[in-house]
Amino acid sequence: MPSESHKIEIEDKKITITSVDEVGILRGLQWLDKHFYMVREQKSIKKVINRKTRFEIRYIYSYFAVYGDPLLDPEIDPYPEGLLESLSEMGVNGVWLQAVLYTLVPWDKAPELSKGWEKRCNVNVYC
């Protein structure tokens, strides 16, 4: 089964979420949070919901993004408060940041261009 896939079993007094990985549990909880009103209103319910991931990679580019150096300048925040949580609830599992490649690695041909690369790669980004 693909990553993030999960099964939600709803019984009268118990809800069980099983998944192939931790992110699948998160997706199951997000689904349950969004649809709990429907489940709660039914008096006696027994239901099994199987949710299989269709696309494992779901990236997005922020409309709030501006050109600059968001990995070095904290004032440039392409993902304002709450946006990442909302995107996650919609199933987005990655974000795209604009960057110039030679600013992310040491470049021996022109080291002045890659100045600050250590700081850029030390902000929870895989470089």
**Cα gap 64→106, rounded to integer Å:** 29
Determine phi and psi for 49, rounding to 5 degrees. -115, 115
Task: Report the Cα 67 to chain-centroid distance in Å.
Answer: 22
Q: Which residue has the tokens 């998944």?
A: 19
Answer yes or no: is pLDDT of 6 > 90: yes
Number of H helices, E strands in the chain: 3, 5
Digit-coded pLDDT (tens) for 15-45: 999 999 999 999 999 998 888 776 666 666 7
Digit-coded pLDDT (tens) for 44-85: 678 899 999 888 888 888 777 777 787 787 777 788 778 888
Burial (CB count <10 Å: 0-12, 13-18, 19+), residue 40: exposed
Question: Rounded to two decimals, what is the model's pTM?
Answer: 0.58
